[in-house]
Amino acid sequence: MSVTQSSSHSAPSTVSPGLAVEMTALRRTYGTVNALDGLDLHLDPGEMVVLLGPSGCGKTTALRILAGLERQDAGTISVGGRDLTHVPANKRDMGMVFQAYSLFPHLTVLDNVAFGLKLRGRSRKDRRQRAGDMLDLVGLGEQKARYAHQLSGGQQQRVALARALAIEPAVLLLDEPLSALDAKVRVQLRDEIRRVQSDVGTTTLFVTHDQEEALAIADRVGVMNSGRLDQIAPPAELYSSPATRFVGEFVGLSNRIPAQVDGETAVVLDARLPVLPGSAAGAGLALVRPESVSVEPDEHGHATVVSVAFLGPVSRATLTLDDGTLVMAQLASAAAGGLVVGGRVRLRITPSPVLVVGA
Amino acid sequence: MIGAWVWRVSRWLLLLAFAAFFLLPLVALLDFSTTIPRTGERTGAAWQSLLEDPQMTQAIKTSLLLALFTVIGMVVLLVPTMIWVKLRVPRASRLVEFLCLLPLTIPALVVVVGIKNVYAWVTYLIGDSALTLTFIYVVLVLPYAYRSIDAALSSIDAGTLSEAARSLGAGWFTVITRVITPNIWPGVLGGAFISVALVLGEYTVSSLLNYETLPVVIVLLSKSDAPQSMAASLASILFAAALLVVLSFLDRRRRTTVRK
């Protein structure tokens, strides 16, 4: 068994030791499509890893293979040192929350949560106690006697989370659990999932196509592209230092500004910036975040304001460089007041490292 | 205003017309079965004989048992098969549907002629009882039961429910019996009812195979004791109707408990 970790300060009765997860060289093809193309993924005990990627990138396949709901063509899976590669789904001890509502319609909320405990032969009293505790944990202690159709979507997903955690799973799997919910509930519930997960300390794999969601709750985010992991890193690192063009363009907005790489640095719009590993040599395009671009009105500037969109605390200005390149800049709304559509401006780029990709 | 009034009256007229269409034959049956033909006096003799005439009581018993066994056979055969196909081999669903609907397209007469040889073996192996008709009846009710269960199965997200149950530790047997079946119960009940109604009214096969089920005895008696056969017909219709009411009541109660 591997090292365990727990958060000792909160809800000690619910804390379970996290286990390390190891997925090695996983392959899966559907007909001619490579859903997984040699995926390697490691989760530390108690860690929450979010797999992020566009639809069809293989993230859900990876999760379903870990759950045992789908077979891999090749590769191995182990959890806490135990080889699960050929263990059926019902013997893997994984709690899962699905994208679709999955509560059993014929059972009450309490019986839903107690279902897995019943299968494990726990006594009635024990089951009710544990299920009640889990419902309290997700804030639905009052809804025990209700049925799924009497709950809102967000409540149903919370019950599903309580049900998945009730069995004290080795790993918690979340398959886009928030994508059927409306925006406000989504944000609330994602924070709650994060809180509950840190409380219980279960190693968690979360799959989503929503980058904001991924960046907000993950310990590490893995960006998947065509069945492979392009980069896996803590959210801030992923955002500031993308390893590939795909990651840079998929996570957050990026401007593509012509650049000339010269050794360790690149010249972008008169500024000399350090380049990230993996950058192309020679002439290329620098991926620059809109918030790294600052704008000030200047008659002799080299760009023209095309439009300014007010987004509340910040505004987003679209500009064209004299060579025709479109650039987006994000600036404080107070500063955006001085910009006039059609006016000339000067751009400055914050001197943080950039990824330069081939044109 | 006038429109609403006309609408209400025409609705009632329509309802009355339908009621008359369905109820008049039943009232006629009741009238005929309680009248002494020559004198026109009222008598309960025909109804009493339903309970006393050994041939009739035996036939009623046989048909009720057949209905019961057919329903059991249908549920045991069809429910797990359909769930399994839906969850595990969806590609085979067309084939299963085709097989289940096949009895509908083949005339009962053809079935009997074909099956007579097989039945020589059935009677040889498990004895010559009218209850052996269960085997044929299970086949005959397949199309109707299939439709009913299929509708129920399509109305739930069987895939996700079963995956949720599997991840919680349920084996396939538990998935089928404790997760999917309880949620398609209305469809299974519907299929069971249609099966009962079909078995209680099935004449061709049992008559051609020389078994005395209720419909066969009713026809037999109609030649010698018409009032009694009328009484038996009416009784079996009322029984089927009562069953329908009970089943729909059960279903509704289930739903309201669920909604509570």
Cβ–Cβ of B169/A164 closer than 8 Å? no
Check residue A6 and give its pLDDT: 39
Check residue B15 and give its pLDDT: 94
Whether residue A177 contacts residue A160, with contact meaning beta carbons closer than 8 Å, is answered with: yes
Domain end among A194, A212, A240: A240
Looking at the structure, do residues A74 and A212 belong to the same domain, yes or no? yes
Looking at the structure, do residues A30 and A151 belong to the same domain, yes or no? yes
- Asked whether residue A283 is assigned to any structural domain, the reply reads yes
Shortest alpha-carbon distance between residue B105 and chain A (Å): 36
CATH code for the domain of B156: 1.10.3720.10
Nearest to A72 by CA among A26, A40, A34: A26
- Asked whether residue B112 is assigned to any structural domain, the reply reads yes
> What residue of A is the nearest CA neighbor of B186?
A106
Looking at the structure, do residues A95 and A225 belong to the same domain, yes or no? yes
Query: Which of A102, A130, A150, A167 has the highest number of chain B CBs within 10 A, making it the mutation to test binding with B?
Result: A102
pLDDT classification of B130: cutoffs 50, 70, 90: confident
> What residue of A is the nearest CA neighbor of B163?
A69
Question: What secondary structure letter does DSSP report for A280?
Answer: P
Which residue in this structure is represented by tokens 């566009």? A54
- Asked whether residue A60 is assigned to any structural domain, the reply reads yes
Average pLDDT over residues A92-108: 94
Check residue B250 and give its pLDDT: 72
Cβ–Cβ of A167/B165 closer than 8 Å? no
> What residue of B is the nearest CA neighbor of A99?
B160
For residue range B157-171, list pLDDT tens digits in order: 999 999 999 999 999
The DSSP result for A111-148, as a single string, is: HHHHHHHHHTT--HHHHHHHHHHHHHHTT-GGGTT-BG
Looking at the structure, do residues A64 and A173 belong to the same domain, yes or no? yes
Percent with pLDDT over 70 in chain B: 96
- Asked whether residue B32 is assigned to any structural domain, the reply reads no
Looking at the structure, do residues A221 and A348 belong to the same domain, yes or no? no
CA angle A315, A320, A325 (to 5 degrees): 120
CATH code for the domain of A143: 3.40.50.300
Query: Is the pLDDT score of A13 beyond 50?
Result: no
Question: What pairs with residue B137 in β-bridges?
Answer: none
Whether residue A176 contacts residue A207, with contact meaning beta carbons closer than 8 Å, is answered with: yes
Looking at the structure, do residues A323 and A210 belong to the same domain, yes or no? no
Q: Identify the domain containing residue A275 by its residue range.
A: 253-358
Looking at the structure, do residues A235 and A299 belong to the same domain, yes or no? no
Query: Is the pLDDT score of A2 beyond 70?
Result: no
Interface check for A157 against chain B (CB to CB < 8 A): the answer is no
Question: What secondary structure letter does DSSP report for A108?
Answer: B
Contact pairs from chain A to chain B, CB under 8 Å: 74
Looking at the structure, do residues A261 and A218 belong to the same domain, yes or no? no
Assign A295 to helix, strand or coil: strand
Within 10 angstroms of residue A345's Cβ, the number of other Cβ atoms is: 21
Give exposure, B165-196, as e/b (b: 16+ Cβ within 10 Å). bbbbbbebebbbebbbbebbebbbbbbbbbbb
* CA–CA separation, B214 and B217 (whole Å): 5
pLDDT classification of B251: cutoffs 50, 70, 90: low
Check residue B260 and give its pLDDT: 37
Cβ–Cβ of A105/B156 closer than 8 Å? yes
Looking at the structure, do residues A130 and A180 belong to the same domain, yes or no? yes
pLDDT classification of B117: cutoffs 50, 70, 90: confident
* CA–CA separation, A103 and A112 (whole Å): 7
Shortest alpha-carbon distance between residue A89 and chain B (Å): 6
Nearest to A325 by CA among A343, A304, A345: A304
Whether residue A294 contacts residue A350, with contact meaning beta carbons closer than 8 Å, is answered with: yes
Check residue A4 and give its pLDDT: 40
- Asked whether residue A3 is assigned to any structural domain, the reply reads no
Interface check for B2 against chain A (CB to CB < 8 A): the answer is no
Q: Return the C-alpha torsion angle A55, A56, A62, A64, nearest 10.
A: 80
Residues of B in contact with A69 (CB under 8 A): 163, 166-167
- Joined together, the tokens standing for residue A263 give 């050794």
- Asked whether residue B207 is assigned to any structural domain, the reply reads yes
Q: How many domains does chain A have?
A: 2
Looking at the structure, do residues A178 and A86 belong to the same domain, yes or no? yes
Looking at the structure, do residues A72 and A113 belong to the same domain, yes or no? yes
Check residue B55 and give its pLDDT: 87
- Asked whether residue A7 is assigned to any structural domain, the reply reads no
Whether residue A345 contacts residue A303, with contact meaning beta carbons closer than 8 Å, is answered with: yes
Cβ–Cβ of B164/A102 closer than 8 Å? yes
CATH code for the domain of A276: 2.40.50.140
Per-residue HEC secondary structure of chain B comes to CHHHHHHHHHHHHHHHHHHHHHHHHHHHHHHHHCECCCCCCECCHHHHHHHHCHHHHHHHHHHHHHHHHHHHHHHHHHHHHHHHHHHHCHHHHHHHHHHHHHHHHCCHHHHHHHHHHHHHHHHHHHCCCHHHHHHHHHHHHHHHHHHHHHHHHHCCCHHHHHHHHHHCCCCHHHHHHHHHHHHCHHHHHHHHHHHHHHHHHCCHHHHHCCCCCHHHHHHHHHHHCHHHHHHHHHHHHHHHHHHHHHHHHHHHHHHHHHHC
Query: Which of B167, B179, B256, B257 has the highest number of chain A CBs within 10 A, making it the mutation to test binding with A?
Result: B167
Listed by number, the residues of chain B in 199-258 with a beta carbon closer than 8 Å to a beta carbon of chain A are 258
- Asked whether residue B72 is assigned to any structural domain, the reply reads yes
* CA–CA separation, B215 and B223 (whole Å): 13
* CA–CA separation, A294 and A181 (whole Å): 36
For residue range A195-232, list pLDDT tens digits in order: 999 988 999 999 999 999 999 999 999 999 999 999 99
pLDDT classification of B106: cutoffs 50, 70, 90: confident
- Asked whether residue B100 is assigned to any structural domain, the reply reads yes
* CA–CA separation, A10 and B150 (whole Å): 48
Query: Which of A61, A106, A167 has the highest number of chain B CBs within 10 A, making it the mutation to test binding with B?
Result: A106
pLDDT classification of A12: cutoffs 50, 70, 90: very low
Residues of A in contact with B183 (CB under 8 A): 104-106
Looking at the structure, do residues A24 and A51 belong to the same domain, yes or no? yes
Interface check for A69 against chain B (CB to CB < 8 A): the answer is yes
- Asked whether residue B250 is assigned to any structural domain, the reply reads yes
Domain end among A240, A268, A300: A240
Domain end among A218, A240, A262: A240
Whether residue A39 contacts residue A227, with contact meaning beta carbons closer than 8 Å, is answered with: yes
HSE-up (13 A, CA, CB side) for residue A181: 24
- Asked whether residue A5 is assigned to any structural domain, the reply reads no
The count of residues in chain B is 260
Q: Identify the domain containing residue B110 by its residue range.
A: 54-259
For residue range A19-78, list pLDDT tens digits in order: 999 999 999 999 888 899 999 999 999 999 999 999 889 999 999 999 999 999 999 999
- Asked whether residue B82 is assigned to any structural domain, the reply reads yes
Nearest CB among A98, A116, A167 relative to B160 is that of: A98
* CA–CA separation, B167 and B155 (whole Å): 22
Interface check for B45 against chain A (CB to CB < 8 A): the answer is no
Interface check for B165 against chain A (CB to CB < 8 A): the answer is yes
> What residue of B is the nearest CA neighbor of A162?
B168
Is this complex's ipTM strictly greater than 0.85?
no
- Joined together, the tokens standing for residue A244 give 């590939």
Q: How many domains does chain B have?
A: 1
- Joined together, the tokens standing for residue B23 give 């109820």
- Asked whether residue A81 is assigned to any structural domain, the reply reads yes
pTM equals 0.82
Query: Which of A92, A115, A150, A159 has the highest number of chain B CBs within 10 A, making it the mutation to test binding with B?
Result: A115
Check residue B40 and give its pLDDT: 79
HSE-up (13 A, CA, CB side) for residue B256: 5
Check residue A336 and give its pLDDT: 82
- Asked whether residue A143 is assigned to any structural domain, the reply reads yes
For residue range A286-306, list pLDDT tens digits in order: 999 999 998 988 888 889 999
- Asked whether residue A248 is assigned to any structural domain, the reply reads no
For residue range A116-152, list pLDDT tens digits in order: 999 999 999 999 999 999 999 999 999 999 999 999 9
